[in-house]
Amino acid sequence: MLSSAPFIISKRRKPRLPRVLGAAAIVALVIAAWYARAPLSGLLWQAGAPLVAARNALGETDSSRLRAEVARLNARLADRDTLYRENLDLKALLNRAAGRSATLAAILQRPPGLPYDTLLVDAGEDEGVLGGSLVSLGGSALVGYVSEVYTNSSRVTLYSAAGIIHQGMLHVGAKTVPISVEGQGGGSMHAQVPAGTGAKAGDLVSLPSVGLGLTAEAVHVEAKAGESFETVYFSLPADLNARFVEIWQ
Amino acid sequence: MNSASRWIYAVSFALAAVGFLIPLWPLSVLGVLLATLSGRFVAGLLIGLLLDIAWGAPAAPFGFLYFPFTLAALAVAALRYWGAAYFFDRATPDTL
Protein backbone atom coordinates (compact mmCIF):
# COMPACT_ATOMS: atom_id res chain seq x y z
CA MET A 1 0.00 0.00 0.00
CA LEU A 2 1.24 3.33 -0.99
CA SER A 3 1.49 6.00 1.61
CA SER A 4 0.02 9.36 0.77
CA ALA A 5 2.66 11.10 2.87
CA PRO A 6 5.36 12.83 0.88
CA PHE A 7 8.81 11.47 1.19
CA ILE A 8 12.26 12.56 0.33
CA ILE A 9 14.40 10.43 -1.82
CA SER A 10 17.56 12.34 -1.23
CA LYS A 11 18.53 15.36 0.72
CA ARG A 12 22.11 16.21 0.10
CA ARG A 13 24.03 17.74 2.90
CA LYS A 14 26.00 20.76 1.86
CA PRO A 15 29.72 20.31 2.38
CA ARG A 16 30.90 22.06 5.50
CA LEU A 17 34.37 23.11 4.29
CA PRO A 18 33.34 26.01 2.02
CA ARG A 19 31.12 27.36 4.79
CA VAL A 20 33.94 27.24 7.30
CA LEU A 21 36.27 28.87 4.80
CA GLY A 22 33.69 31.58 4.07
CA ALA A 23 33.17 32.30 7.76
CA ALA A 24 36.93 32.40 8.29
CA ALA A 25 37.29 34.84 5.39
CA ILE A 26 34.63 37.12 6.86
CA VAL A 27 36.22 37.02 10.32
CA ALA A 28 39.58 37.82 8.70
CA LEU A 29 38.01 40.72 6.83
CA VAL A 30 36.43 42.13 9.99
CA ILE A 31 39.72 41.83 11.85
CA ALA A 32 41.55 43.52 8.97
CA ALA A 33 38.93 46.28 8.93
CA TRP A 34 39.28 46.64 12.70
CA TYR A 35 43.02 47.19 12.58
CA ALA A 36 43.31 49.00 9.26
CA ARG A 37 40.11 50.99 9.31
CA ALA A 38 41.67 54.40 8.68
CA PRO A 39 43.75 53.46 5.63
CA LEU A 40 40.91 51.37 4.23
CA SER A 41 38.52 54.25 4.72
CA GLY A 42 40.98 56.58 3.02
CA LEU A 43 41.27 54.22 0.08
CA LEU A 44 37.52 53.88 -0.19
CA TRP A 45 36.94 57.63 -0.18
CA GLN A 46 39.74 58.12 -2.67
CA ALA A 47 38.21 55.55 -4.98
CA GLY A 48 34.75 57.03 -4.52
CA ALA A 49 35.88 60.65 -4.91
CA PRO A 50 34.68 61.03 -8.53
CA LEU A 51 31.31 59.58 -7.56
CA VAL A 52 30.98 61.92 -4.59
CA ALA A 53 32.06 64.88 -6.74
CA ALA A 54 29.42 63.95 -9.31
CA ARG A 55 26.80 63.71 -6.57
CA ASN A 56 27.80 67.13 -5.20
CA ALA A 57 27.66 68.63 -8.68
CA LEU A 58 24.21 67.16 -9.24
CA GLY A 59 22.87 68.51 -5.96
CA GLU A 60 24.39 71.95 -6.42
CA THR A 61 21.91 74.70 -7.18
CA ASP A 62 22.07 78.47 -6.94
CA SER A 63 20.31 78.21 -3.64
CA SER A 64 22.78 75.70 -2.19
CA ARG A 65 25.70 77.77 -3.49
CA LEU A 66 24.28 80.89 -1.83
CA ARG A 67 23.66 79.00 1.40
CA ALA A 68 27.27 77.88 1.39
CA GLU A 69 28.36 81.45 0.75
CA VAL A 70 26.21 82.72 3.64
CA ALA A 71 27.74 80.07 5.92
CA ARG A 72 31.24 81.12 4.84
CA LEU A 73 30.46 84.79 5.43
CA ASN A 74 28.92 84.03 8.81
CA ALA A 75 32.12 82.27 9.79
CA ARG A 76 34.13 85.28 8.67
CA LEU A 77 31.78 87.58 10.56
CA ALA A 78 32.24 85.54 13.72
CA ASP A 79 35.98 85.82 13.22
CA ARG A 80 35.66 89.55 12.73
CA ASP A 81 33.53 89.94 15.87
CA THR A 82 36.11 88.08 17.91
CA LEU A 83 38.90 90.25 16.57
CA TYR A 84 36.86 93.38 17.19
CA ARG A 85 36.25 92.40 20.80
CA GLU A 86 39.92 91.68 21.22
CA ASN A 87 40.69 95.04 19.63
CA LEU A 88 38.41 96.84 22.12
CA ASP A 89 39.95 94.94 25.04
CA LEU A 90 43.44 95.93 23.95
CA LYS A 91 42.43 99.56 23.60
CA ALA A 92 40.83 99.47 27.03
CA LEU A 93 44.06 98.03 28.44
CA LEU A 94 45.93 100.94 26.90
CA ASN A 95 43.41 103.45 28.28
CA ARG A 96 41.98 104.23 24.86
CA ALA A 97 38.54 102.71 25.26
CA ALA A 98 36.73 102.75 21.94
CA GLY A 99 33.47 101.22 23.04
CA ARG A 100 30.35 102.95 21.80
CA SER A 101 26.61 102.85 22.02
CA ALA A 102 24.38 103.05 19.00
CA THR A 103 20.76 103.79 18.18
CA LEU A 104 19.08 101.47 15.76
CA ALA A 105 17.03 103.21 13.08
CA ALA A 106 14.99 101.90 10.21
CA ILE A 107 15.68 103.28 6.75
CA LEU A 108 12.56 105.08 5.53
CA GLN A 109 13.92 106.28 2.21
CA ARG A 110 17.08 105.53 0.30
CA PRO A 111 18.57 106.29 -3.11
CA PRO A 112 17.25 106.37 -5.75
CA GLY A 113 14.05 107.30 -3.84
CA LEU A 114 16.00 110.14 -2.28
CA PRO A 115 18.49 112.24 -4.22
CA TYR A 116 21.99 113.43 -3.28
CA ASP A 117 23.07 110.11 -1.73
CA THR A 118 21.11 110.61 1.45
CA LEU A 119 19.02 108.33 3.65
CA LEU A 120 15.98 109.18 5.73
CA VAL A 121 15.89 107.17 8.96
CA ASP A 122 13.19 106.93 11.63
CA ALA A 123 15.19 108.15 14.66
CA GLY A 124 15.53 111.81 15.55
CA GLU A 125 15.80 114.18 18.48
CA ASP A 126 13.34 112.16 20.54
CA GLU A 127 15.61 109.14 20.24
CA GLY A 128 18.67 111.19 21.20
CA VAL A 129 20.20 111.44 17.75
CA LEU A 130 22.75 114.24 17.38
CA GLY A 131 23.89 115.98 14.24
CA GLY A 132 27.23 114.72 12.99
CA SER A 133 26.84 111.24 14.50
CA LEU A 134 28.40 108.51 12.43
CA VAL A 135 26.10 106.01 10.76
CA SER A 136 26.91 102.39 10.02
CA LEU A 137 25.03 99.60 8.33
CA GLY A 138 25.93 97.32 11.21
CA GLY A 139 29.29 96.59 12.73
CA SER A 140 32.04 98.92 11.65
CA ALA A 141 30.88 99.56 8.07
CA LEU A 142 30.34 103.31 8.20
CA VAL A 143 28.39 104.81 5.34
CA GLY A 144 27.87 108.43 6.35
CA TYR A 145 26.87 110.84 9.08
CA VAL A 146 23.72 112.48 10.38
CA SER A 147 23.38 115.79 8.55
CA GLU A 148 19.97 116.93 9.73
CA VAL A 149 17.98 115.93 12.78
CA TYR A 150 14.21 116.21 12.94
CA THR A 151 11.86 115.32 15.78
CA ASN A 152 11.36 111.69 14.87
CA SER A 153 13.59 111.25 11.87
CA SER A 154 16.99 112.22 10.57
CA ARG A 155 18.71 112.68 7.30
CA VAL A 156 21.92 110.80 6.77
CA THR A 157 24.40 112.02 4.19
CA LEU A 158 26.43 109.22 2.70
CA TYR A 159 30.16 109.57 2.26
CA SER A 160 29.55 109.01 -1.41
CA ALA A 161 27.41 112.18 -1.78
CA ALA A 162 28.86 114.33 -4.54
CA GLY A 163 31.40 116.84 -3.26
CA ILE A 164 31.57 115.47 0.29
CA ILE A 165 35.18 115.08 1.34
CA HIS A 166 36.26 113.06 4.36
CA GLN A 167 39.66 112.18 5.65
CA GLY A 168 40.53 108.53 5.83
CA MET A 169 43.36 106.09 6.14
CA LEU A 170 43.92 103.81 3.17
CA HIS A 171 45.21 100.41 4.30
CA VAL A 172 47.57 98.97 1.71
CA GLY A 173 48.95 95.76 3.12
CA ALA A 174 50.81 96.73 6.28
CA LYS A 175 51.06 100.37 5.17
CA THR A 176 48.56 103.11 6.03
CA VAL A 177 48.27 106.11 3.71
CA PRO A 178 46.30 109.21 4.74
CA ILE A 179 43.94 110.27 1.95
CA SER A 180 41.06 112.64 1.23
CA VAL A 181 38.15 110.70 -0.17
CA GLU A 182 35.71 112.68 -2.28
CA GLY A 183 32.17 111.50 -2.99
CA GLN A 184 31.02 111.26 -6.58
CA GLY A 185 27.39 110.32 -6.04
CA GLY A 186 25.72 107.02 -6.74
CA GLY A 187 27.61 105.24 -3.98
CA SER A 188 31.06 105.87 -5.41
CA MET A 189 34.05 107.93 -4.25
CA HIS A 190 37.55 108.60 -5.41
CA ALA A 191 40.89 109.74 -4.03
CA GLN A 192 44.36 110.56 -5.25
CA VAL A 193 47.29 108.61 -3.88
CA PRO A 194 50.98 108.93 -4.73
CA ALA A 195 52.10 106.66 -7.55
CA GLY A 196 53.83 103.59 -6.21
CA THR A 197 51.59 103.35 -3.17
CA GLY A 198 50.54 99.94 -4.36
CA ALA A 199 46.81 100.47 -3.86
CA LYS A 200 44.65 97.79 -5.36
CA ALA A 201 41.01 96.75 -5.51
CA GLY A 202 39.83 95.44 -2.17
CA ASP A 203 41.89 97.84 -0.04
CA LEU A 204 39.89 99.48 2.74
CA VAL A 205 39.63 103.02 4.04
CA SER A 206 39.03 103.64 7.72
CA LEU A 207 38.43 106.77 9.72
CA PRO A 208 41.57 108.14 11.35
CA SER A 209 40.62 107.35 14.95
CA VAL A 210 41.15 104.60 17.48
CA GLY A 211 37.59 103.40 16.89
CA LEU A 212 37.31 100.95 14.03
CA GLY A 213 35.23 102.43 11.22
CA LEU A 214 35.51 101.41 7.60
CA THR A 215 34.17 103.96 5.16
CA ALA A 216 35.15 102.75 1.71
CA GLU A 217 36.47 99.84 -0.28
CA ALA A 218 38.69 100.31 -3.32
CA VAL A 219 37.17 98.90 -6.49
CA HIS A 220 39.52 100.20 -9.18
CA VAL A 221 42.88 101.92 -9.45
CA GLU A 222 43.67 104.13 -12.42
CA ALA A 223 47.37 104.69 -12.91
CA LYS A 224 48.59 106.62 -15.94
CA ALA A 225 52.18 106.29 -17.06
CA GLY A 226 54.35 109.24 -16.15
CA GLU A 227 51.92 110.75 -13.62
CA SER A 228 52.89 111.15 -10.01
CA PHE A 229 49.44 110.33 -8.64
CA GLU A 230 47.04 107.46 -9.10
CA THR A 231 43.27 107.72 -8.83
CA VAL A 232 41.64 105.15 -6.62
CA TYR A 233 37.89 104.62 -6.99
CA PHE A 234 35.92 103.43 -4.01
CA SER A 235 32.47 102.16 -3.16
CA LEU A 236 30.67 102.22 0.17
CA PRO A 237 31.73 99.28 2.37
CA ALA A 238 28.21 97.82 2.60
CA ASP A 239 25.06 97.32 0.59
CA LEU A 240 22.47 100.09 1.06
CA ASN A 241 19.59 97.63 0.70
CA ALA A 242 19.75 96.93 4.43
CA ARG A 243 16.62 97.67 6.48
CA PHE A 244 18.35 99.27 9.45
CA VAL A 245 21.28 101.49 10.27
CA GLU A 246 23.13 102.11 13.53
CA ILE A 247 23.61 105.70 14.58
CA TRP A 248 26.74 105.83 16.77
CA GLN A 249 26.48 108.01 19.85
CA MET B 1 23.24 31.75 -8.64
CA ASN B 2 19.57 31.89 -9.53
CA SER B 3 17.62 34.86 -10.82
CA ALA B 4 16.12 35.72 -7.43
CA SER B 5 19.57 35.85 -5.86
CA ARG B 6 20.83 38.09 -8.61
CA TRP B 7 17.97 40.49 -8.03
CA ILE B 8 18.41 40.48 -4.28
CA TYR B 9 22.14 41.14 -4.51
CA ALA B 10 21.61 43.93 -7.01
CA VAL B 11 18.77 45.62 -5.11
CA SER B 12 20.58 45.32 -1.76
CA PHE B 13 23.75 46.83 -3.11
CA ALA B 14 21.82 49.51 -5.00
CA LEU B 15 19.89 50.48 -1.87
CA ALA B 16 23.06 50.68 0.18
CA ALA B 17 24.83 52.67 -2.53
CA VAL B 18 21.98 55.11 -3.04
CA GLY B 19 21.67 55.56 0.73
CA PHE B 20 25.38 56.29 0.81
CA LEU B 21 25.28 58.75 -2.07
CA ILE B 22 22.14 60.74 -1.26
CA PRO B 23 23.14 60.46 1.71
CA LEU B 24 20.29 58.77 3.61
CA TRP B 25 21.60 56.11 5.97
CA PRO B 26 18.23 54.34 6.59
CA LEU B 27 18.27 53.34 2.93
CA SER B 28 21.68 51.75 3.43
CA VAL B 29 20.33 49.92 6.49
CA LEU B 30 17.49 48.68 4.30
CA GLY B 31 20.03 47.31 1.81
CA VAL B 32 21.87 45.45 4.58
CA LEU B 33 18.60 44.13 6.01
CA LEU B 34 17.35 42.96 2.63
CA ALA B 35 20.49 40.99 1.92
CA THR B 36 20.66 39.50 5.40
CA LEU B 37 16.98 38.70 5.87
CA SER B 38 16.84 36.99 2.49
CA GLY B 39 19.55 34.65 3.68
CA ARG B 40 22.48 36.25 1.85
CA PHE B 41 24.44 36.68 5.08
CA VAL B 42 27.80 37.15 3.44
CA ALA B 43 26.50 39.88 1.16
CA GLY B 44 24.79 41.60 4.09
CA LEU B 45 27.95 41.47 6.17
CA LEU B 46 30.12 42.71 3.34
CA ILE B 47 27.82 45.64 2.58
CA GLY B 48 27.68 46.46 6.30
CA LEU B 49 31.45 46.27 6.57
CA LEU B 50 31.88 48.50 3.52
CA LEU B 51 29.51 51.09 4.98
CA ASP B 52 31.30 50.96 8.34
CA ILE B 53 34.65 51.51 6.69
CA ALA B 54 33.30 54.41 4.67
CA TRP B 55 31.38 56.17 7.42
CA GLY B 56 33.62 55.36 10.36
CA ALA B 57 32.59 54.63 13.91
CA PRO B 58 29.54 56.43 15.29
CA ALA B 59 29.99 59.29 17.71
CA ALA B 60 29.32 58.92 21.41
CA PRO B 61 27.13 57.60 23.01
CA PHE B 62 27.04 54.82 20.39
CA GLY B 63 30.77 54.85 19.80
CA PHE B 64 31.15 51.50 21.54
CA LEU B 65 29.38 49.81 18.62
CA TYR B 66 32.38 50.67 16.42
CA PHE B 67 31.08 48.60 13.47
CA PRO B 68 27.34 49.26 13.72
CA PHE B 69 26.28 48.13 10.24
CA THR B 70 28.32 44.94 10.45
CA LEU B 71 26.94 44.25 13.90
CA ALA B 72 23.42 44.93 12.67
CA ALA B 73 23.96 42.49 9.81
CA LEU B 74 25.32 39.89 12.25
CA ALA B 75 22.40 40.38 14.64
CA VAL B 76 19.83 40.13 11.86
CA ALA B 77 21.60 37.06 10.46
CA ALA B 78 21.44 35.41 13.89
CA LEU B 79 17.78 36.37 14.26
CA ARG B 80 16.98 34.93 10.87
CA TYR B 81 18.90 31.76 11.58
CA TRP B 82 16.99 31.09 14.79
CA GLY B 83 13.75 32.61 13.63
CA ALA B 84 13.67 30.49 10.50
CA ALA B 85 12.68 27.47 12.56
CA TYR B 86 9.53 29.28 13.65
CA PHE B 87 8.58 31.12 10.51
CA PHE B 88 9.54 28.79 7.67
CA ASP B 89 8.31 25.25 7.25
CA ARG B 90 11.60 23.57 6.56
CA ALA B 91 10.07 20.08 6.80
CA THR B 92 8.03 20.47 3.65
CA PRO B 93 9.83 18.61 0.94
CA ASP B 94 10.20 20.43 -2.30
CA THR B 95 12.36 17.91 -4.07
CA LEU B 96 12.05 14.25 -4.79
Q: Report which of B17, B32, B26 is spatially closest to residue B80, judged by C-alpha positions.
A: B32
Mean pLDDT to the nearest integer, B46-54: 90
Determine how many CB atoms are found less than 10 A away from the CB of residue A239.
11
**Residue A30 with chain B: CB contacts under 8 Å:** 49, 67, 70
CB nearest to A40's CB, from B53, B66, B93:
B53
Note the pLDDT of residue A163.
Answer: 85
* Chain center to CA of A96: 28
Q: What is the ipTM of this complex?
A: 0.77
Pairing outcome for strands A154-158 and A118-121: antiparallel
Q: How far is A1 from chain B (nearest CA, A)?
A: 19
Give the pLDDT band of residue B90 (cuts 50, 70, 90). low
The count of other CB atoms within 10 Å of the CB of residue A53 is 10
Residues of A in contact with B92 (CB under 8 A): 6
Q: Delimit the domains of chain A by residue range.
A: 16-59, 100-249
Q: Above pLDDT 70, what percent of chain B?
A: 89
Contact of B16 with chain A, judged by CB distance below 8 Å, is answered with no
Output A180-185 pairs: Cβ under 8 A, ≥24 positions apart.
Answer: A181/A205, A181/A215, A181/A216, A181/A234, A183/A117, A183/A158, A183/A159, A184/A160, A185/A116, A185/A117, A185/A160, A185/A161
- Interface residue B18 vs chain A (CB under 8 A): no
Cβ contact, residue pair B70, A37, below 8 Å:
no
In this model, does residue B48 exceed pLDDT 80?
yes
pLDDT band for position B35 (cuts 50, 70, 90) = very high
Q: Does B60 touch chain A (CB under 8 A)?
A: no
Along chain A (249 residues), what's the average pLDDT of each consecutive run of 10 residues? 50 67 83 86 86 80 83 80 78 72 86 82 90 85 88 90 88 87 89 89 82 82 88 86 85
Asked whether the beta carbons of B70 and B48 are under 8 A apart, the reply is yes
- Closest residue of chain A to B22, computed from CA coordinates: A55
Say if residue B70's pLDDT is above 50: yes
Q: Supply the mean pLDDT for chain B.
A: 85
Interchain contact, B56 vs A41, CB within 8 Å: yes
pLDDT level of residue B34 (50, 70, 90 thresholds): very high
B67 contacts in A (CB within 8 Å)? Answer: 30, 33-34
- pLDDT greater at residue B92 or residue A61: A61
pLDDT score at A68: 81
CATH 3.30.70.1450 fits A100-249, yes or no: no
* The pLDDT of residue B92: 59
Q: Does A30 touch chain B (CB under 8 A)?
A: yes
Q: Are B95 and A41 inside 8 Å of each other by CB? A: no
- The whole-number pLDDT of residue A1 equals 45
Locate the chain A residue with the closest alpha carbon to B93.
Answer: A8
Can you give the pTM of this predicted structure? 0.51
